[in-house]
Structure 1
């Protein structure tokens, strides 16, 4: 990104790849991401997933959902499942184990350190 200029994260073209077979829970989801910038050791980017379900191990990040809908279930039984919709802001920490079930292609902006 160039300081003082706008990037339309909602309209940014992304190149999708299939989710690795060992992570797929249901369907045939694909994901895509692009790093927009770094500030020190912090990465800012856009990530997207198509409908389906996948397991993941999370990084340390905060994200904001731009579009789509999904449910995220944590392996840790102390954490309740969350519903993601445009405007949702979520904090994840390194090592959290999750299952993402996307019902409408989900696009988020993430900030990860």
Structure 2
């Protein structure tokens, strides 16, 4: 087993499909695709690729720490009580535990994610 994992964007395998919980939908009909790429043996650290189609919904991180790197598309993230921030390809950020806010996908957005629980 290698200690090096590559993200093969042209061969991510079959995605898990879903969307925001119905009670979190604000506007539109966002659809999610999620590809798990790797995880630690204890499953506390996981990494993958996520994609959303346009729509607006409440984002709640709970106890999860998440690093994100936007690969494509345009979205706007508004943390509760803060000004909106537009993210696009090349932008990276961390959503810390207890983050709550609104994710508005403007153009289908794809990101790499790494979470720690």
Report how many aligned residue pairs link the two structures: 111
Matches of 1:7 and 1:74 in 2, distance apart? 29
Question: What's the counterpart of residue 19 of structure 1?
Answer: 20
Task: Say whether residues 1:112 and 2:115 are aligned partners.
Answer: yes
CA contact (8 A) 2:5 2:38 kept: no
Change (3 A) 1:52 1:44: same
CA distance in 2, matches of 1:111, 1:3: 16
Q: TM-score normalized by structure 1? A: 0.83
Q: Aligned match of 1:74 in 66, 75, 79? A: 79
Q: CA RMSD in A?
A: 2.2
Residues 1-113 of structure 1 correspond to what in structure 2 (within 5 A)?
6-9=6-9, 12=12, 14-39=15-40, 41-58=44-61, 59-75=64-80, 77=81, 79-113=82-116
User: Structure 2: 5+ residue runs without aligned partners?
Assistant: none
Q: Unaligned regions of 5+ residues in structure 1, if any?
A: none
TM-score after normalising by structure 2: 0.81
